[in-house]
């Protein structure tokens, strides 16, 4: 309203682009990812007792689907993750589906191009969706190469002012790989060399992928299919292949965005925090939590739960860093432990709790991920997976600075004026 009042022409334009909610717009209501057919009772014998309310909540609001026959691997950083991805891509026999916010030229893309060219010649169906905002125009040549080798490429929300100008603020932030409807990957990593060679200013991007093999892959596939159709892709059949193993890990795939009736991922994070009994550890590169998550964090910490929050020491956006820091004073005063990671740029989006449940995916702890972006997370109800991610968190703590309330208030780089201005823009960041 301030922008509209003080800068009338530009303000009205900005309001039209990013101020109007389109949640109930017909464009986003064409298809339901997880419709009422997925609203089946949770198998309480396979979910930890204290986490049944979480699984039930997400199941009832049609934002997720749960499966129980899965194996899960946790992959730390780019080198290990991409080696797994390359191996699985090379073994694909029927389909490869890729859904990414950012695709950049470099070693990772070149390796993928070689593998995908080979698979296309073998008759494997390869489809790719990329976001028009995250993947900029300079990489058009790469997409020409992809199309030339037989990959079907679609752009999510292209900058077509006549058709999509109302939707330019609604971006596809998902990162998904699905192979043969049997194996799926998700996490913070894009197709980019930042997770291998790092950034000249920020260093290696610290990230986490999870690899899921089992029935959950088809639930990831349903999310991809919805993005594919929204991007103008043709219909194709969704099939559940026979598995060559008998995994026993429950995985709940949750998709959230402007096409959701509820803010499913915000509800997920809120419930993980408030239901924690012993601890809840959170890693996020961007932190604009909103009142609900702030209240949840403070309440859990004050009640005796070990609440830890890890953020990057240096952000890829100074404005975002100023905004994030405006929330930390109240958290520190409420016994939340805050760590600033300095071993590179912290980019993973992980929540772990009580050694029994872990969430990893694409959603940051910010309003944009909760309400505006198309996001995807995987919730794993498994002791071993949670312990592995907990160990990763402790390793990251060794490369972090723990804040105290006194040190935070007296920090040398404090800029009250810019932090105040940044906080005003938090709904748009």
Tell me: pLDDT of 299 over 60: yes
Q: Is residue 294 classed exposed, middle or buried when 0-12, 13-18 and 19+ CB atoms within 10 A define those classes? A: middle
Please answer whether residues 186 and 50 qualify as being in contact, where contact means their C-beta atoms are separated by less than 8 angstroms: no
Query: From 3.30.870.10, 3.30.70.100, 3.40.605.10, 3.40.50.150, which CATH number describes the 42-428 domain?
Result: 3.30.870.10
Q: Is residue 245 classed exposed, middle or buried when 0-12, 13-18 and 19+ CB atoms within 10 A define those classes? A: exposed
Q: What is the pLDDT of residues 77-90, one digit of tens each?
A: 999 999 999 999 99
Percent residues over pLDDT 70 in the chain: 88
**β-bridge pairing 205-206 and 345-346:** parallel
Tell me: pLDDT of 369 over 70: yes
Supply the pLDDT for residue 238. Answer: 83
Q: What is the pLDDT of residues 308-362, one digit of tens each?
A: 999 999 988 888 888 989 999 999 999 999 999 999 999 999 999 999 999 999 9
Averaged pLDDT, 369-377: 93
Residue numbers annotated as active site: 173, 175, 180, 347, 349, 354
Residue 219 dihedral angles phi and psi, to the nearest 5°: -70, -35
Domain extent listing, the chain: 42-428
Q: What is the pLDDT of residues 132-162, one digit of tens each?
A: 888 876 667 788 888 999 999 999 988 775 6
Supply the pLDDT for residue 137. Answer: 62
Query: pTM surpassing 0.85?
Result: yes
């Amino acid at each position: 309203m301030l922008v509209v009042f003080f800068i009338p022409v530009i303000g009205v334009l900005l309001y039209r682009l990013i101020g109007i909610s389109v949640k109930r717009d017909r464009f986003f209501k064409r298809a339901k990812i997880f419709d009422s057919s997925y609203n089946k009772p949770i198998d309480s014998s396979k979910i930890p007792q204290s986490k049944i309310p979480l699984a039930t909540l997400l199941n009832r609001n049609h934002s997720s689907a749960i499966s129980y026959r899965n194996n899960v691997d946790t992959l730390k950083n780019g080198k290990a993750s991409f080696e797994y991805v390359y191996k699985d891509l090379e073994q694909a026999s029927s389909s490869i589906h890729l859904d990414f916010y950012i695709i950049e030229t470099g070693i990772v893309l070149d390796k993928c191009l070689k593998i995908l060219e080979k698979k296309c010649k073998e008759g494997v169906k390869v489809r790719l969706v990329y976001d028009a905002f995250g993947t900029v125009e300079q990489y058009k040549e790469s997409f020409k190469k992809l199309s030339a080798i037989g990959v079907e490429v679609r752009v999510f929300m292209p900058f077509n002012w006549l058709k999509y100008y109302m939707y330019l603020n609604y971006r596809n932030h998902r990162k998904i790989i699905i192979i043969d409807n049997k194996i799926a990957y998700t996490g913070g990593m894009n197709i980019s060399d930042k997770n291998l060679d790092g950034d000249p200013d920020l260093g290696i991007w610290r990230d986490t992928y999870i690899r899921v093999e089992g029935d959950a892959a088809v639930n990831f596939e349903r999310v991809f299919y919805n993005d594919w159709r929204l991007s103008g892709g043709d219909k194709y059949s969704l099939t559940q292949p026979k598995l060559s193993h008998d995994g026993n890990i429950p995985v709940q795939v949750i998709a959230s965005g402007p096409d959701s009736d509820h803010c499913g991922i915000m509800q997920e994070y809120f419930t993980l925090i408030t239901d924690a009994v012993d601890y809840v550890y959170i890693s996020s590169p961007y932190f604009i939590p909103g009142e609900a998550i702030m209240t949840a964090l403070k309440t859990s910490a004050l009640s005796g739960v070990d609440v830890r929050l890890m953020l990057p020491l240096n952000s890829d956006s100074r404005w975002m860093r100023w905004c994030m820091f405006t929330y930390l004073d109240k958290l520190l005063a409420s016994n939340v432990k805050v760590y600033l990671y300095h071993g590179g740029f912290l980019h993973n989006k992980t929540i772990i709790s009580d050694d029994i449940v872990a969430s990893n995916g694409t959603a940051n702890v910010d309003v944009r991920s909760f309400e505006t972006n198309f996001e995807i997370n995987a919730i794993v109800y498994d002791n071993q997976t949670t312990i592995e991610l907990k160990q990763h968190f402790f390793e990251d703590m060794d490369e972090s600075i723990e804040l105290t309330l006194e040190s935070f208030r007296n920090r040398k780089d404090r800029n009250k004026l810019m932090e105040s201005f940044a906080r005003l823009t938090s709904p748009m960041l």
